[in-house]
A and B are shown apart, each in its own frame.
Chain A
């Protein structure tokens, strides 16, 4: 089976990601209410909000891991539903690295490369290990023995292994030390420059301020602010926007 055209490279690969009137209900609780936003390629979108605002739920829906109760997520001509084959165009980095801890780094990448049908898997995997600074890690060392930062680096390598057009990050810096956070910021900027749609869910306003041109602030499942600027927001402007949106 060949991947959908959008994943392999077509006009859709440069299309924005459109979240349109998305709602999500868990039992009697409405986690998301009529959420709409457009995330453009070559731009970092930061989804912000207090705990329980629905940020991770929204990201899970965009990642096709969860189904929206209402509304749609579309990317170019294709609709991204739960289990959509177009999920091959997504890369996801979460709190946890999404790796098999008993396998070495290279084996992890080769396994996922085989599932995605990456044609140059061995070379691509080794190149990515070099890129994320794990090229000199002993080849037989299981991921379980890695530090948290090393796992996150490998998690990023796993997420971009298949050259996705959309990259989703859910609190990726939560367990990183300052050096790791700096490294991650560089990688995010790199992915933006590569023309990917980059969506970042975070509590870290400073990181979002330094990187994101587009912010979507959620509060109690609703979008209370959706604003973009020509360049990154800057700490003071973002803090003011966040406080204003989340007040009350």
Chain B
């Protein structure tokens, strides 16, 4: 037995003499949940490889279809390709977001722990956003290279669009992924439920990105779409926070 540990047994392992436990604060809880997910993913790289591979295939297929004679397609098409790649790969990642809680019924142990459900939500959301962004960076570079999209010249705005789109997408996706935790058809249902709801984000992201990438960028329009995405994100977060606890507890 390790040194310093109370002796196991009728006397030493009684509930009453246990050292007073100090439950971590909200932020710490959130970080621990996210760190656990990222640690598991770092070891398996399952989500990164599958969603990244899908995104690259999508970009490659579109590049063969739209780049004719070395002439890249218009900015509206390039923006659409980027967002379709992100959307498709994101669903793959979200589909696996709660698999680790389902396998072995880890979710039950997690719900029994004296931590906030909101911390679980933000922890899962943070990890999902981090994984999606990790895939999006190389995919965006790939789009830039294949379609000569001049993304680097507007890196800040593109990053803002991707960040806002990813947060909104992951918010809705996390709630649905939790809701479908116990469903056998979750892979099919997730896409079916998720796509219609994130359409506003997809439209705003694609339109805003296209405005920025245009030969004559319309930055006012891009700003409008940025603000629109921020408002949608806030709405998704509010609804997500409200809905998460009932769906994760199944009541």
Contact = CB atoms under 8 A, between A and B. Distances in A.
B106 interface: yes
Contacts of B3: 123
A88 B111 CA distance: 10
Nearest to A140: B43
Contacts of B4: 120, 123
A92 B15 contact: no
B1 interface: yes
A2 interface: yes
Nearest to B10: A193
Interface string B93-131: 000000010011110111111110100000000000000
B41 to A, nearest CB: 9
Nearest to B16: A9
A117 B15 contact: no
Interface string B8-27: 11100111111111111100
B9 A98 contact: no
Contact of A194 (B15, B24, B104, B106): B15
Contacts, number: 165
B16 A13 contact: yes
A96 interface: yes
A96 B105 contact: yes
Contact of A119 (B22, B32, B40): B22
B32 A111 contact: yes
Contacts of B40: 100, 102-103
A97 interface: yes
B5 A123 contact: yes
A94 B15 contact: no
Contact of A92 (B17, B32, B112, B249): B112
Contact of B249 (A82, A120, A123): A82
A99 B29 contact: no
B2 A2 contact: no
Contacts of A114: 24, 32
B13 A112 contact: no
Q: Which of B3, B23, B29, B36 has the most CB of A within 10 A?
A: B23
B44 interface: yes
Given A2-B20, A193-B10, A165 B5 contact: no
B178 to A, nearest CB: 15
Contacts of A115: 23-24, 29, 32, 110, 113-115
A213 B14 CA distance: 20
A117 B114 CA distance: 9
A113 to B, nearest CB: 9
B103 A101 contact: yes
Contact of A83 (B19, B32, B105, B117): B117
B148 to A, nearest CB: 41
A163 interface: yes
Contacts of B39: 103, 107
Nearest to B32: A114
A127 interface: yes
B23 A2 contact: yes
Contact of B108 (A1, A98, A165): A98
Contacts of A1: 22-25
B120 to A, nearest CB: 10
A67 B15 contact: no
B1 A127 contact: yes
B29 to A, nearest CB: 7
23 contacts: A8-B18, A9-B20, A14-B16, A82-B251, A83-B249, A94-B105, A98-B112, A100-B106, A101-B106, A102-B40, A102-B100, A103-B36, A115-B24, A115-B110, A115-B114, A127-B1, A127-B2, A131-B1, A193-B10, A194-B10, A194-B13, A194-B14, A195-B14
Interface of B: 1-5, 8-10, 13-25, 29, 32, 36, 39-40, 43-44, 100, 103-106, 108-115, 117, 245, 249, 251
Interface of A: 1-3, 7-10, 13-14, 63-67, 82-83, 85, 87-90, 92, 94-103, 107, 111-112, 114-120, 123-124, 126-127, 130-131, 143-144, 151, 158, 160, 162-165, 190, 193-196
Given A14-B16, A87-B112, A117-B24, 10 more contacts: A1-B22, A7-B114, A9-B20, A65-B111, A97-B104, A100-B100, A100-B106, A116-B23, A160-B13, A163-B13
